[in-house]
Amino acid sequence: MYVAVKGGERAIDNAHAWLAEERRGDPSVPELSVAQIREQMKLAVNRVMAEGSLYDPDLAALAIKQARGDLIEAVFLIRAYRTTLPRLASSRPVDTAAMAVDRRISATFKDLPGGQVLGPTFDYTHRLLDFTLMAEGEPPAAAALPLVAAVSPQRDGGDCDPASRVPHVTGFLNRDGLIEDAAPEDSPPPDLTREPLELPAGRPLRLQAITRGDEGFILSLAYSTQRGYGRTHAFVGELRIGHVGVEVEIPELGFAVEIGDVELTECETVNQFKGSKTEPAQFTRGYGLVFGQSERKSIAMSLVDRSLRWRELGEDDTGAPAQDEEFVLYHCDNIQATGFLEHIKLPHYVDFQSELELVRKLRAEARAMKEAAE
């Protein structure tokens, strides 16, 4: 009696029990707390919040712990939680010029109003393993912390108060008409998580998709534009990281109330543009905005954004992947991608059986024809 096809239920229960044990690892090693992950794995927490589209450092840290450090799995846990949350209100657009900046740099101007603020960056660290971090027991002395010790913040403008308004670099260029206008838009943006994706997607929807898209995928696409597949000629006009207040209009009160703040990374690129049949020579813009400190992602996002704007600027379609809206938007979501990729390990007995029958039939017919011919 053949019974191996039975027993799925028990197998699942056992697999889950084993998984829980593996997640905990060696019980003689103290368990990680969610607070430890939130505080000491902050960039991983940021990535999970950005790609999970949910700003909640505690839940993102919990997801990382539950996912055993698999960040895409953690993003997935956050997405599956987020999707059940009711939509109570829409916030007003955040004012990034009022950001309390921890970091603010421009690659296009040596000095500018608001100053250059390096902030906590890896940029100028030497990538040497710091074995003092490995020493157990004693926490490393503050002076030995590499993230703040490697560079010292250089703030121009002397009495610059980081909480005061920091104007955007692109605004300076705009005064001379050197960069395209980006007029404020009042129409509510579409919501990718509430409406099915329809093409062609406008820029707001594209940006929304890219900001929650997979960091690796967006990075590689952006890189491909730098290497000639839909060239973007980008300069980082400005990159800023810091906290901004989130305000919600309360209809009963008739005014907006700040309900909290979020950490954001904003990147504005200034792109070379020689002009086209329809537009005069002018700098153009690419834009990136991501939850948390996510520099790589926000720079990559602004390059891909710029690349996708070829049609509106009258540029040529060179057939580059980063110019192809449908290709980018349909493949940037790592939860969709990993789900469909990994589903091929599920049973496909039935389909495979039908293929088996077909191949046998085709082979039998071919054999019969060959014999008939001989």
Partner 1 sequence: MTDQAYNFAYLDEQTKRMIRRALLKAIAVPGYQVPFASREMPMPYGWGTGGVQVTAACLTPEDRLKVIDQGADDTTNAVSIRKFFQRTAGVATTEHTPDATVIQTRHRIPETALKAGQILVYQVPIPEPLRFLEPRESETRKMHELEDYGLMHVKLYEDIARHGTIATAYAYPVKVEGRYVMDPSPIPKFDNPKLSGNAAIQLFGAGREQRIYALPPWTEAVSLDFDDHPFQPSKAPHDCDLCGAADSYLDELITDDLGGRMFVCSDTDFCAGRRAAGHIGRLGAAEPEVVP
Contacts with partner 1, residue ranges (CB under 8 A) = 1-12, 76, 79-80, 82-84, 86-87, 193-200, 326, 330, 335-336, 338-344, 346-351, 353-358, 361-362, 365
* Alpha carbons 231 and 224: distance in angstroms, whole number: 8
By the 8 A CB rule, do 290 and 265 touch? yes
C-beta of 12 vs 135, nearer to partner 1: 12
* Smallest gap from residue 56 Cβ to partner 1 (A): 14
Distance of closest approach, residue 1 Cβ to partner 1, in angstroms: 6
Centre a 10 Å sphere on the Cβ of residue 174 and count the other Cβ atoms it contains: 16
To partner 1, the closest distance from the beta carbon of 128 in angstroms equals 39
Strand runs (DSSP E) across the chain, as ranges? 100-105, 234-250, 255-271, 284-291
- Smallest separation, CB 148 to partner 1 (Å): 37
- Going by C-alpha positions, the residue among 213, 191, 214 that lies closest to residue 204 is 191
Provide, rounded to whole angstroms, the least separation between the CB of residue 262 and partner 1.
21
Cβ closest to partner 1, residue 50 vs residue 270: 50
Provide, rounded to whole angstroms, the least separation between the CB of residue 8 and partner 1.
Answer: 4
Residue with tokens 């919040």: 49
| Nearest residue (CB) to partner 1, 318 versus 336 | 336
Q: Which of helix, strand or coil describes residue 249?
A: strand
Q: Which residues pair with 238 in a beta bridge?
A: 268
Cβ distance to partner 1 smaller for residue 54 or 179? 54
Which residue lies nearer to partner 1 by CB, 144 or 356?
356
Q: Which is nearer to partner 1, 176 or 371 (CB)?
A: 371
Which amino acid is located at 19 in the chain? L
Beta pairing class for 100-105 and 234-250 = antiparallel
Q: Which residues contact 262 (CB under 8 A, 6 or more apart)?
A: 55, 94, 243, 244, 246, 291
